[in-house]
Amino acid sequence: MSARVPFIAGNWKLHHNIPAAVALAGQIVDAMEPLARAAGPSKTVEVCIAPVATALYAVAQSVAESELLLAGQNCHHEPQGAFTGEVSPALLRDAGASHCIIGHSERRALFGETDAAIALKLRALLEAGLVPILCVGETLEQRDAGETEGVVIAQLRGALGDLSASALATLIVAYEPVWAIGTGRTASPADAQAVHAAIRAELAASHGDSLAQAVRVLYGGSVKASNAAELLSQPDIDGALVGGASLSSELFVPIIAAAYAVA
Ligand code: 13P
């Protein structure tokens, strides 16, 4: 890791109703405090969870006094209007979120989201003052065809477009190889590091070294306690976006502890 503050995020996807979400958020907060105290003031780890949209407000109320950050799992790019079933960035903020995941591969693959749609969401989040967590990642076919970096960089360029470095100051990128999500297969630390370094090099080329050094690039795809420390100790891996292992405190808290250990 580096001077960048490690960021550990739990993407709960379509799991946990309101009581379960409030209970789990409380367990995470209870575990975070002793970890932060033991690490001392010079070591910080940011921890974020993305509950289902219907649980966001209740979770936000229940953890209001804590350092736990909350994210939406998706948003619409329009602030309001005749968009049945959609939620705007401002409404996510209203419910207590400070961050929002966009471009998750499940949204791209199952809901047909394009780079152009993700670019609009990114702009809408920045305008509403939310931190975007932009997901990119290749499929197994693309990896096997040697297209990994090309695919990931095209997704990055497609989302960032002509946004300036100052507009992107808060950006977080999550590299999630599609073949590693929910499969138990993790990219090797060296393979993940290579893609993270390519993402940072692209950011440096497009927006300058200062933004490239500031943006946190998370790894996602079957992150668990047993592989977190090795992944997080790579120089360009600044945190993790965790799916399955974020659904219980027993699985998630050791990943937070691993981030403190390498911070
Ligand atoms: P898993 O950790 O379950 O592989 O999911 C990763 C993910 O999709 C996080 O957004």
Mean pLDDT to the nearest integer, 241-261: 98
- Does 63 fall in a domain? yes
Residues 6+ away with beta carbon under 8 Å from 182: 222, 243, 244
- Which residue minimizes the CA distance to atom 2 of ligand 1? 243
- Does 196 fall in a domain? yes
- Does 1 fall in a domain? no
- Does 116 fall in a domain? yes
- Does 240 fall in a domain? yes
- Does 41 fall in a domain? yes
The partner residues of 172 in beta bridges, in order of sequence, read 133, 216
Distance CA 245, CA 241 (A): 10
Is residue 157 within 8 Å of 206, Cβ to Cβ?
yes
Distance CA 219, CA 217 (A): 7
The whole domain housing 199 covers 7-262
Nearest atom, ligand 1, residue 106 CA: 8
Q: What is the CATH number of the domain that holds 110?
A: 3.20.20.70
Q: How many CB atoms lie within 10 A of CB 114?
A: 11
Ligand 1: centre distance to CA 124 (Å): 24
**Quick one: pLDDT at residue 2?**
61
- Which residue minimizes the CA distance to atom 5 of ligand 1? 243
How many residues are present in the chain? 263
Mean pLDDT to the nearest integer, 109-123: 98
Residues with CB under 6 A from ligand 1: 11, 104, 176, 181-182, 220-223, 241-245
Instruction: Band the pLDDT of 166: cuts 50, 70, 90.
Output: very high
Cα torsion at 42, 251, 71, 94 (round to 10°)? -100
- Does 244 fall in a domain? yes
Distance CA 172, CA 198 (A): 15
Ligand 1: centre distance to CA 82 (Å): 32
Q: Which amino acid type is present at position 24? A: L
Sign of CA dihedral 17, 6, 102, 177: negative
179 Cα distance to chain centroid? 17
Q: Which residue among 105, 133, 242 has the greatest number of ligand 1 atoms within 8 angstroms of its CB, and so is best to mutate?
A: 242
**1 has pLDDT over 50:** no
Ligand 1: centre distance to CA 55 (Å): 19
Q: Which residue among 106, 241, 255 has the greatest number of ligand 1 atoms within 8 angstroms of its CB, and so is best to mutate?
A: 241
**Quick one: pLDDT at residue 219?**
98
Reported as a single tens digit per residue, the pLDDT across 122-137 is 999 999 999 999 999 9
pTM to 2 decimals? 0.98
The proportion of the chain whose per-residue pLDDT surpasses 70, expressed as a percent, equals 99
Residues taking part in catalysis: 104, 176
**104 has pLDDT over 90:** yes
- Does 25 fall in a domain? yes
The proportion of the chain whose per-residue pLDDT surpasses 90, expressed as a percent, equals 97
Q: Which residue among 102, 217, 223 has the greatest number of ligand 1 atoms within 8 angstroms of its CB, and so is best to mutate?
A: 223
CA-nearest of 85, 162, 84, 153 to 126 is 162
Reported as a single tens digit per residue, the pLDDT across 176-211 is 999 999 998 889 999 999 999 999 999 999 999 999
How many separate domains does the chain show? Answer: 1
Ligand 1: centre distance to CA 1 (Å): 21
